[in-house]
A and B are shown apart, each in its own frame.
Chain A
Amino acid sequence: MKVTQLLCAAGPVDAVTNQAIICRELYRAWGWSGNDYAPVIAPGMPHGTIKHLHERRPARDEVVVLHYSGWAEGLERAFDGSRPSLLISHNITPSRYFWEHEPVQAVHNEMGLEQLARLIRSASVVAGVSEYNAQQLRALGASDPQVIPILLDSALLGLPAWGTGAPSPTVLFVGRLVPHKRQDLVIRAFARFHARNPEARLVLVGVPLSDGYKGALVELAERLAPGAVEFEDGLSAGQLADRYLSAGVFLCLSEHEGFCIPLLEAMHFGVPVIARDAGAIGEVVGDAGVLVGEDDGVDVVAELLGLVTSDEELRGSLRERGARRLEHYDREAVAAQLRGVIESLGK
Protein backbone atom coordinates (compact mmCIF):
# COMPACT_ATOMS: atom_id res chain seq x y z
CA MET A 1 0.00 0.00 0.00
CA LYS A 2 1.13 3.55 -0.67
CA VAL A 3 0.31 6.16 1.97
CA THR A 4 0.99 9.85 1.40
CA GLN A 5 0.94 12.09 4.45
CA LEU A 6 0.23 15.81 4.28
CA LEU A 7 1.02 18.30 7.03
CA CYS A 8 0.10 21.96 7.37
CA ALA A 9 3.68 22.81 8.29
CA ALA A 10 6.73 20.89 9.44
CA GLY A 11 9.16 21.87 12.16
CA PRO A 12 11.83 20.17 14.26
CA VAL A 13 10.02 20.68 17.60
CA ASP A 14 6.47 20.48 16.30
CA ALA A 15 4.26 17.82 17.94
CA VAL A 16 2.22 17.20 14.78
CA THR A 17 5.36 16.78 12.65
CA ASN A 18 6.57 14.33 15.26
CA GLN A 19 3.27 12.41 14.95
CA ALA A 20 3.66 12.21 11.17
CA ILE A 21 7.21 10.89 11.58
CA ILE A 22 6.07 8.27 14.12
CA CYS A 23 3.26 7.21 11.73
CA ARG A 24 5.73 6.94 8.83
CA GLU A 25 7.96 4.66 10.91
CA LEU A 26 4.93 2.43 11.48
CA TYR A 27 3.96 2.44 7.79
CA ARG A 28 7.49 1.35 6.90
CA ALA A 29 7.33 -1.42 9.49
CA TRP A 30 4.05 -2.57 7.90
CA GLY A 31 5.70 -2.61 4.47
CA TRP A 32 3.86 0.44 3.15
CA SER A 33 5.54 3.00 0.91
CA GLY A 34 4.97 6.72 0.39
CA ASN A 35 6.25 10.14 1.40
CA ASP A 36 5.32 13.01 3.68
CA TYR A 37 4.78 16.57 2.45
CA ALA A 38 4.19 20.03 3.89
CA PRO A 39 3.71 23.41 2.21
CA VAL A 40 5.98 25.08 4.78
CA ILE A 41 9.13 23.50 6.20
CA ALA A 42 10.90 25.27 9.04
CA PRO A 43 14.69 25.50 9.10
CA GLY A 44 16.22 22.79 11.23
CA MET A 45 14.17 19.92 9.85
CA PRO A 46 16.50 17.10 8.84
CA HIS A 47 16.70 17.17 5.06
CA GLY A 48 14.37 14.75 3.29
CA THR A 49 12.30 13.84 6.37
CA ILE A 50 9.38 15.92 5.09
CA LYS A 51 9.34 17.02 1.45
CA HIS A 52 7.96 20.26 0.11
CA LEU A 53 4.39 19.98 -1.15
CA HIS A 54 5.54 21.18 -4.60
CA GLU A 55 7.50 17.94 -4.96
CA ARG A 56 4.41 15.77 -4.58
CA ARG A 57 3.30 13.73 -7.60
CA PRO A 58 -0.06 12.11 -6.76
CA ALA A 59 -0.25 8.39 -7.45
CA ARG A 60 -3.42 6.65 -8.55
CA ASP A 61 -3.36 3.98 -5.85
CA GLU A 62 -2.34 6.09 -2.84
CA VAL A 63 -4.23 6.69 0.39
CA VAL A 64 -3.84 10.28 1.64
CA VAL A 65 -3.56 11.02 5.36
CA LEU A 66 -3.79 14.69 6.33
CA HIS A 67 -2.58 15.72 9.80
CA TYR A 68 -4.43 19.00 10.14
CA SER A 69 -3.20 21.58 12.65
CA GLY A 70 -3.80 24.99 11.07
CA TRP A 71 -4.36 27.00 7.94
CA ALA A 72 -1.96 26.34 5.09
CA GLU A 73 -2.00 27.54 1.54
CA GLY A 74 -2.70 24.98 -1.17
CA LEU A 75 -4.04 22.20 1.03
CA GLU A 76 -7.41 22.12 -0.74
CA ARG A 77 -5.69 21.28 -4.04
CA ALA A 78 -3.59 18.53 -2.48
CA PHE A 79 -6.49 17.09 -0.44
CA ASP A 80 -9.27 17.28 -3.00
CA GLY A 81 -11.15 14.05 -2.36
CA SER A 82 -9.90 12.38 -5.55
CA ARG A 83 -8.11 9.69 -3.47
CA PRO A 84 -9.29 7.69 -0.44
CA SER A 85 -8.36 9.91 2.45
CA LEU A 86 -8.15 10.22 6.23
CA LEU A 87 -8.17 13.62 7.92
CA ILE A 88 -6.77 13.60 11.46
CA SER A 89 -7.40 16.89 13.22
CA HIS A 90 -4.97 17.92 15.93
CA ASN A 91 -7.20 20.82 16.98
CA ILE A 92 -7.14 24.50 16.19
CA THR A 93 -6.66 26.85 19.11
CA PRO A 94 -9.36 29.56 19.24
CA SER A 95 -8.09 32.80 17.76
CA ARG A 96 -9.06 34.82 20.86
CA TYR A 97 -5.86 33.68 22.57
CA PHE A 98 -3.68 35.29 19.92
CA TRP A 99 -5.23 38.64 19.00
CA GLU A 100 -3.35 40.50 21.71
CA HIS A 101 0.06 38.92 21.25
CA GLU A 102 0.27 37.57 17.67
CA PRO A 103 -2.54 38.95 15.50
CA VAL A 104 -1.22 37.17 12.39
CA GLN A 105 -1.51 33.82 14.19
CA ALA A 106 -5.05 34.76 15.23
CA VAL A 107 -6.00 35.43 11.61
CA HIS A 108 -4.47 32.10 10.55
CA ASN A 109 -6.47 30.25 13.22
CA GLU A 110 -9.71 31.86 12.03
CA MET A 111 -8.88 30.89 8.46
CA GLY A 112 -7.95 27.42 9.68
CA LEU A 113 -11.44 26.74 10.98
CA GLU A 114 -12.93 27.67 7.60
CA GLN A 115 -10.36 25.58 5.76
CA LEU A 116 -10.92 22.60 8.06
CA ALA A 117 -14.67 22.74 7.33
CA ARG A 118 -13.91 22.60 3.58
CA LEU A 119 -11.38 19.77 3.97
CA ILE A 120 -13.81 17.70 6.04
CA ARG A 121 -16.08 17.58 2.98
CA SER A 122 -13.25 16.07 0.90
CA ALA A 123 -12.23 13.42 3.43
CA SER A 124 -13.36 9.79 3.28
CA VAL A 125 -12.84 9.41 7.04
CA VAL A 126 -12.46 12.16 9.64
CA ALA A 127 -10.84 11.69 13.06
CA GLY A 128 -9.76 13.77 16.02
CA VAL A 129 -6.99 12.89 18.46
CA SER A 130 -9.44 13.24 21.37
CA GLU A 131 -13.18 13.27 21.91
CA TYR A 132 -12.81 17.01 22.54
CA ASN A 133 -11.36 17.34 19.03
CA ALA A 134 -14.09 15.15 17.61
CA GLN A 135 -16.64 17.59 19.03
CA GLN A 136 -14.94 20.44 17.19
CA LEU A 137 -15.10 18.37 13.99
CA ARG A 138 -18.82 17.69 14.51
CA ALA A 139 -19.41 21.42 14.94
CA LEU A 140 -17.67 21.97 11.61
CA GLY A 141 -19.88 19.48 9.78
CA ALA A 142 -18.24 16.05 10.21
CA SER A 143 -21.04 13.51 10.56
CA ASP A 144 -19.26 10.69 12.35
CA PRO A 145 -15.72 11.61 13.41
CA GLN A 146 -13.60 8.87 14.94
CA VAL A 147 -11.12 9.28 17.78
CA ILE A 148 -7.59 8.12 17.00
CA PRO A 149 -5.38 9.15 19.94
CA ILE A 150 -1.84 10.40 19.70
CA LEU A 151 0.91 7.81 19.23
CA LEU A 152 3.38 8.27 22.03
CA ASP A 153 6.98 8.97 21.08
CA SER A 154 9.18 5.95 21.59
CA ALA A 155 12.30 8.17 21.43
CA LEU A 156 11.24 9.84 24.66
CA LEU A 157 9.13 7.13 26.20
CA GLY A 158 11.74 4.53 25.33
CA LEU A 159 14.09 6.12 27.84
CA PRO A 160 14.27 4.71 31.36
CA ALA A 161 11.16 5.79 33.18
CA TRP A 162 9.88 6.10 36.72
CA GLY A 163 12.22 8.08 38.89
CA THR A 164 12.75 7.24 42.50
CA GLY A 165 9.49 8.94 43.39
CA ALA A 166 11.30 10.83 46.12
CA PRO A 167 9.60 14.13 46.96
CA SER A 168 11.11 17.02 45.06
CA PRO A 169 10.11 20.66 45.36
CA THR A 170 10.54 21.09 41.59
CA VAL A 171 7.38 21.92 39.65
CA LEU A 172 7.41 21.25 35.90
CA PHE A 173 5.31 22.23 32.92
CA VAL A 174 6.14 21.35 29.33
CA GLY A 175 4.42 23.14 26.46
CA ARG A 176 4.86 26.09 24.10
CA LEU A 177 4.84 29.46 25.84
CA VAL A 178 1.49 30.57 24.44
CA PRO A 179 -1.44 32.40 26.05
CA HIS A 180 -3.86 29.45 26.15
CA LYS A 181 -1.39 27.25 28.06
CA ARG A 182 -1.54 29.83 30.83
CA GLN A 183 2.03 29.66 32.08
CA ASP A 184 1.15 32.94 33.81
CA LEU A 185 -1.23 31.04 36.09
CA VAL A 186 1.37 28.33 36.69
CA ILE A 187 3.79 31.08 37.78
CA ARG A 188 1.19 32.69 40.06
CA ALA A 189 0.25 29.40 41.72
CA PHE A 190 3.90 28.43 42.05
CA ALA A 191 4.76 31.83 43.57
CA ARG A 192 2.33 31.20 46.44
CA PHE A 193 3.78 27.72 46.98
CA HIS A 194 7.31 29.16 46.79
CA ALA A 195 6.50 31.78 49.43
CA ARG A 196 6.06 28.91 51.92
CA ASN A 197 8.76 26.66 50.37
CA PRO A 198 11.71 28.86 49.43
CA GLU A 199 13.67 25.87 48.09
CA ALA A 200 10.97 25.18 45.46
CA ARG A 201 11.78 25.61 41.76
CA LEU A 202 9.58 25.93 38.68
CA VAL A 203 10.81 24.73 35.29
CA LEU A 204 8.89 25.85 32.20
CA VAL A 205 9.99 24.01 29.06
CA GLY A 206 8.69 25.28 25.74
CA VAL A 207 9.32 27.37 22.66
CA PRO A 208 7.90 30.89 23.12
CA LEU A 209 5.22 32.33 20.85
CA SER A 210 7.34 35.46 20.59
CA ASP A 211 10.16 37.20 22.42
CA GLY A 212 7.65 39.73 23.72
CA TYR A 213 5.39 37.07 25.22
CA LYS A 214 8.31 35.28 26.85
CA GLY A 215 9.56 38.62 28.15
CA ALA A 216 6.19 39.25 29.84
CA LEU A 217 6.30 35.81 31.50
CA VAL A 218 9.91 36.28 32.64
CA GLU A 219 8.97 39.67 34.09
CA LEU A 220 6.01 38.13 35.94
CA ALA A 221 8.20 35.30 37.29
CA GLU A 222 10.91 37.70 38.45
CA ARG A 223 8.32 39.85 40.20
CA LEU A 224 6.49 37.00 41.98
CA ALA A 225 9.23 34.41 42.57
CA PRO A 226 12.61 36.01 41.89
CA GLY A 227 15.28 33.53 40.83
CA ALA A 228 13.03 30.47 41.25
CA VAL A 229 11.70 30.04 37.72
CA GLU A 230 13.68 28.61 34.81
CA PHE A 231 12.66 28.87 31.16
CA GLU A 232 14.07 26.28 28.76
CA ASP A 233 13.55 25.21 25.16
CA GLY A 234 15.30 23.23 22.45
CA LEU A 235 15.96 20.28 24.77
CA SER A 236 16.92 16.85 23.43
CA ALA A 237 14.81 13.81 24.37
CA GLY A 238 17.40 12.88 26.99
CA GLN A 239 17.45 16.36 28.52
CA LEU A 240 13.65 16.43 28.60
CA ALA A 241 13.62 13.05 30.32
CA ASP A 242 16.02 14.48 32.93
CA ARG A 243 13.61 17.35 33.60
CA TYR A 244 10.76 14.89 34.15
CA LEU A 245 12.86 12.64 36.37
CA SER A 246 13.90 15.53 38.61
CA ALA A 247 10.37 16.96 38.92
CA GLY A 248 8.22 16.46 41.99
CA VAL A 249 4.98 17.43 40.29
CA PHE A 250 3.71 18.26 36.80
CA LEU A 251 1.40 21.27 36.82
CA CYS A 252 -0.79 22.05 33.78
CA LEU A 253 -3.23 24.97 34.01
CA SER A 254 -3.94 25.27 30.28
CA GLU A 255 -7.24 26.77 29.30
CA HIS A 256 -7.32 24.97 25.97
CA GLU A 257 -5.64 21.72 24.92
CA GLY A 258 -6.56 19.43 22.03
CA PHE A 259 -4.70 16.54 23.70
CA CYS A 260 -1.58 17.54 25.72
CA ILE A 261 1.01 14.80 25.28
CA PRO A 262 3.22 16.05 28.18
CA LEU A 263 0.53 14.86 30.64
CA LEU A 264 1.17 11.29 29.49
CA GLU A 265 4.92 11.84 29.40
CA ALA A 266 4.77 12.95 33.04
CA MET A 267 2.84 9.79 33.93
CA HIS A 268 5.40 7.71 32.05
CA PHE A 269 8.18 9.20 34.18
CA GLY A 270 6.20 8.68 37.38
CA VAL A 271 5.58 12.37 38.01
CA PRO A 272 2.29 13.13 39.82
CA VAL A 273 -0.01 15.35 37.76
CA ILE A 274 -2.08 18.36 38.83
CA ALA A 275 -4.10 19.77 35.92
CA ARG A 276 -6.97 22.07 35.14
CA ASP A 277 -10.07 20.31 33.83
CA ALA A 278 -10.28 22.21 30.53
CA GLY A 279 -10.32 21.21 26.86
CA ALA A 280 -9.20 17.61 26.41
CA ILE A 281 -7.20 17.57 29.66
CA GLY A 282 -9.82 15.81 31.80
CA GLU A 283 -10.30 13.19 29.10
CA VAL A 284 -6.57 12.48 28.85
CA VAL A 285 -5.82 12.54 32.60
CA GLY A 286 -8.88 10.53 33.63
CA ASP A 287 -8.58 9.61 37.32
CA ALA A 288 -4.77 9.61 37.19
CA GLY A 289 -4.24 13.17 38.40
CA VAL A 290 -5.75 15.86 40.55
CA LEU A 291 -8.12 17.85 38.32
CA VAL A 292 -8.69 21.42 39.38
CA GLY A 293 -12.09 22.93 38.56
CA GLU A 294 -12.73 26.25 36.85
CA ASP A 295 -13.82 27.76 40.18
CA ASP A 296 -10.62 26.84 41.98
CA GLY A 297 -8.15 29.67 42.30
CA VAL A 298 -4.38 29.71 42.40
CA ASP A 299 -4.58 29.43 46.21
CA VAL A 300 -6.10 25.94 45.85
CA VAL A 301 -3.44 24.99 43.29
CA ALA A 302 -0.70 26.22 45.65
CA GLU A 303 -2.13 24.08 48.47
CA LEU A 304 -2.22 21.09 46.12
CA LEU A 305 1.42 21.64 45.21
CA GLY A 306 2.24 21.46 48.90
CA LEU A 307 0.22 18.27 49.37
CA VAL A 308 1.48 16.43 46.31
CA THR A 309 5.13 17.27 46.93
CA SER A 310 4.98 16.15 50.57
CA ASP A 311 2.36 13.39 50.99
CA GLU A 312 4.11 10.12 50.17
CA GLU A 313 0.90 8.10 50.07
CA LEU A 314 -0.75 10.52 47.65
CA ARG A 315 2.36 10.62 45.45
CA GLY A 316 2.45 6.83 45.32
CA SER A 317 -1.24 6.64 44.45
CA LEU A 318 -0.93 9.23 41.66
CA ARG A 319 2.11 7.44 40.23
CA GLU A 320 0.26 4.12 40.14
CA ARG A 321 -2.84 5.70 38.62
CA GLY A 322 -0.63 7.35 35.98
CA ALA A 323 0.94 4.03 35.04
CA ARG A 324 -2.53 2.47 34.66
CA ARG A 325 -3.75 5.44 32.61
CA LEU A 326 -0.91 4.97 30.12
CA GLU A 327 -2.31 1.54 29.26
CA HIS A 328 -5.34 3.36 27.83
CA TYR A 329 -2.98 4.98 25.29
CA ASP A 330 -1.04 1.84 24.53
CA ARG A 331 1.02 2.46 21.41
CA GLU A 332 0.30 -0.94 19.87
CA ALA A 333 -3.46 -0.54 20.28
CA VAL A 334 -3.50 2.97 18.77
CA ALA A 335 -1.27 1.79 15.91
CA ALA A 336 -3.65 -1.13 15.22
CA GLN A 337 -6.61 1.27 15.14
CA LEU A 338 -4.82 3.58 12.70
CA ARG A 339 -3.82 0.63 10.53
CA GLY A 340 -7.40 -0.65 10.44
CA VAL A 341 -8.74 2.70 9.24
CA ILE A 342 -6.09 3.13 6.52
CA GLU A 343 -6.44 -0.48 5.33
CA SER A 344 -10.20 -0.04 5.02
CA LEU A 345 -9.54 2.99 2.78
CA GLY A 346 -7.00 1.12 0.65
CA LYS A 347 -9.34 -1.73 -0.26
Chain B
Amino acid sequence: MKDPEEALAAARAAAAARADADGASDAGEDWRLDSSVDRGRRLSNWAIIKPELIEVGSTRRFGRPITWIKRALIRLLSQYLNQMGAQESRFNADVAAHVISLEERVRKLEDELKRRSS
Protein backbone atom coordinates (compact mmCIF):
# COMPACT_ATOMS: atom_id res chain seq x y z
CA MET B 1 0.00 0.00 0.00
CA LYS B 2 1.53 3.31 -1.05
CA ASP B 3 -1.23 5.83 -1.36
CA PRO B 4 -2.56 7.73 1.72
CA GLU B 5 -6.04 7.63 0.20
CA GLU B 6 -5.75 3.86 -0.14
CA ALA B 7 -4.64 3.61 3.50
CA LEU B 8 -7.60 5.71 4.62
CA ALA B 9 -10.04 3.57 2.66
CA ALA B 10 -8.53 0.40 4.15
CA ALA B 11 -8.74 1.87 7.67
CA ARG B 12 -12.39 2.85 7.16
CA ALA B 13 -13.24 -0.64 5.93
CA ALA B 14 -11.38 -2.28 8.81
CA ALA B 15 -13.08 -0.01 11.37
CA ALA B 16 -16.50 -0.79 9.89
CA ALA B 17 -15.78 -4.53 9.86
CA ARG B 18 -14.58 -4.43 13.46
CA ALA B 19 -17.65 -2.45 14.51
CA ASP B 20 -19.88 -5.06 12.83
CA ALA B 21 -18.03 -7.89 14.53
CA ASP B 22 -17.95 -6.25 17.97
CA GLY B 23 -21.38 -4.70 17.65
CA ALA B 24 -19.90 -1.41 18.78
CA SER B 25 -18.64 1.72 17.09
CA ASP B 26 -17.60 5.20 18.06
CA ALA B 27 -20.32 6.72 15.88
CA GLY B 28 -22.28 9.16 17.96
CA GLU B 29 -19.79 8.96 20.80
CA ASP B 30 -19.23 12.21 22.60
CA TRP B 31 -15.80 13.34 21.44
CA ARG B 32 -15.52 16.19 23.90
CA LEU B 33 -12.97 15.97 26.66
CA ASP B 34 -14.61 14.55 29.76
CA SER B 35 -15.40 17.53 31.93
CA SER B 36 -13.54 16.24 34.91
CA VAL B 37 -12.61 19.82 35.68
CA ASP B 38 -15.14 20.54 38.38
CA ARG B 39 -16.22 24.09 37.59
CA GLY B 40 -17.48 24.72 41.10
CA ARG B 41 -14.20 23.57 42.60
CA ARG B 42 -12.26 25.68 40.10
CA LEU B 43 -14.35 28.76 40.87
CA SER B 44 -13.64 28.25 44.55
CA ASN B 45 -9.92 27.95 43.86
CA TRP B 46 -9.92 31.15 41.84
CA ALA B 47 -12.12 33.03 44.28
CA ILE B 48 -9.37 33.53 46.84
CA ILE B 49 -6.96 36.18 45.62
CA LYS B 50 -3.41 35.48 46.67
CA PRO B 51 -0.74 37.20 44.61
CA GLU B 52 2.46 35.18 44.28
CA LEU B 53 5.45 37.26 45.30
CA ILE B 54 7.73 34.97 43.30
CA GLU B 55 5.92 35.94 40.09
CA VAL B 56 6.61 39.63 40.63
CA GLY B 57 9.66 40.52 38.59
CA SER B 58 11.12 42.53 35.76
CA THR B 59 12.59 41.38 32.48
CA ARG B 60 13.94 44.83 31.59
CA ARG B 61 17.52 45.94 31.57
CA PHE B 62 18.74 46.19 35.19
CA GLY B 63 15.75 43.98 36.03
CA ARG B 64 17.20 42.57 39.23
CA PRO B 65 17.04 45.82 41.29
CA ILE B 66 13.63 46.59 39.76
CA THR B 67 12.40 43.15 40.87
CA TRP B 68 13.81 43.79 44.33
CA ILE B 69 12.08 47.20 44.55
CA LYS B 70 8.74 45.77 43.34
CA ARG B 71 8.84 42.97 45.92
CA ALA B 72 9.85 45.38 48.66
CA LEU B 73 6.94 47.67 47.75
CA ILE B 74 4.52 44.77 48.00
CA ARG B 75 5.87 43.91 51.44
CA LEU B 76 5.58 47.54 52.55
CA LEU B 77 2.02 47.77 51.27
CA SER B 78 1.05 44.31 52.50
CA GLN B 79 -1.49 45.56 55.07
CA TYR B 80 -3.37 47.57 52.41
CA LEU B 81 -3.08 44.85 49.77
CA ASN B 82 -4.27 42.16 52.19
CA GLN B 83 -7.35 44.23 53.04
CA MET B 84 -8.12 44.74 49.36
CA GLY B 85 -7.56 41.06 48.64
CA ALA B 86 -9.76 40.01 51.56
CA GLN B 87 -12.66 42.16 50.37
CA GLU B 88 -12.37 40.90 46.80
CA SER B 89 -11.97 37.28 47.94
CA ARG B 90 -15.03 37.55 50.18
CA PHE B 91 -17.13 38.76 47.24
CA ASN B 92 -15.71 36.11 44.88
CA ALA B 93 -16.23 33.31 47.40
CA ASP B 94 -19.83 34.37 47.92
CA VAL B 95 -20.46 34.35 44.15
CA ALA B 96 -18.78 30.93 43.86
CA ALA B 97 -20.88 29.54 46.72
CA HIS B 98 -24.02 30.91 45.12
CA VAL B 99 -23.17 29.38 41.73
CA ILE B 100 -22.37 26.03 43.34
CA SER B 101 -25.68 26.05 45.24
CA LEU B 102 -27.54 26.91 42.00
CA GLU B 103 -25.77 24.03 40.19
CA GLU B 104 -26.80 21.70 43.00
CA ARG B 105 -30.42 22.86 42.77
CA VAL B 106 -30.42 22.40 38.97
CA ARG B 107 -28.98 18.90 39.37
CA LYS B 108 -31.67 17.96 41.90
CA LEU B 109 -34.41 19.35 39.65
CA GLU B 110 -33.03 17.44 36.65
CA ASP B 111 -32.91 14.24 38.69
CA GLU B 112 -36.48 14.81 39.82
CA LEU B 113 -37.57 15.45 36.23
CA LYS B 114 -35.88 12.26 35.03
CA ARG B 115 -37.47 10.27 37.87
CA ARG B 116 -40.95 11.58 37.06
CA SER B 117 -40.62 11.05 33.30
CA SER B 118 -39.46 7.46 33.80
Contacts and interface: CB of A to CB of B under 8 A. Distances in A.
A297 B15 contact: yes
A55 B32 CA distance: 44
Interface residues of B, number: 32
Given A100-B37, A314-B7, A41 B59 contact: yes
B4 interface: yes
A299 B37 contact: no
B11 A304 contact: yes
Chain A's interface size range is 35 or more
B33 A299 contact: no
Nearest to A185: B31
Q: Which of B4, B18, B26, B37 has the most CB of A within 10 A?
A: B4
A179 B3 contact: no
Interface string B14-45: 11001100000111010111111101001000
A303 interface: yes
A217 interface: yes
Given A100-B37, A185-B31, A311-B1, A297 B25 contact: yes
A156 B114 CA distance: 56
A297 B4 contact: no
A43 interface: yes
Main secondary structure on A side of the interface with B: helix
A303 B11 contact: yes
B12 interface: yes
Interface in A62-102: 100-101
A100 B14 CA distance: 36
A184 B8 contact: no
A291 B4 contact: yes
Contacts of A307: 1, 7, 10-11
Nearest to A308: B7
A101 B37 contact: yes
Interface string A300-340: 11111011100101101110010000000000000000000
A299 B42 CA distance: 33
A25 interface: no
A304 B8 contact: yes
B2 interface: yes
A219 B36 contact: yes
A45 B60 CA distance: 11
Nearest to A304: B11
Interface in A222-244: none
A212 interface: yes
A297 B55 CA distance: 43
A303 B15 contact: yes
A343 interface: no
Contacts of A47: 59, 61, 63
A21 to B, nearest CB: 15
Nearest to B38: A212
A48 interface: yes
B57 interface: yes
A290 interface: yes
Contact of B33 (A51, A184, A287, A321): A184
A216 interface: yes
A289 interface: yes
Contact of A216 (B10, B14, B18, B37): B37
A159 B57 CA distance: 35
Contacts of B42: 212
Given A212-B37, A290-B7, A304-B7, A55 B60 contact: yes
A298 interface: yes
A185 B1 CA distance: 26
A56 to B, nearest CB: 12
A317 B29 contact: no
A314 B31 CA distance: 28
A296 interface: yes
Q: Considering the complex of A and B, which 5 residue pairs feature the smallest CB-CB distances, nearest first?
A: A303-B11, A297-B26, A184-B33, A299-B15, A41-B59
Given A100-B35, A216-B35, A290-B11, 8 more contacts: A51-B60, A52-B60, A213-B37, A216-B37, A303-B10, A306-B14, A313-B2, A317-B4
21 contacts: A43-B59, A47-B61, A48-B61, A51-B61, A100-B37, A179-B33, A219-B34, A220-B33, A220-B34, A289-B4, A290-B11, A297-B15, A299-B15, A300-B11, A301-B11, A303-B12, A303-B14, A304-B8, A311-B1, A314-B2, A316-B2
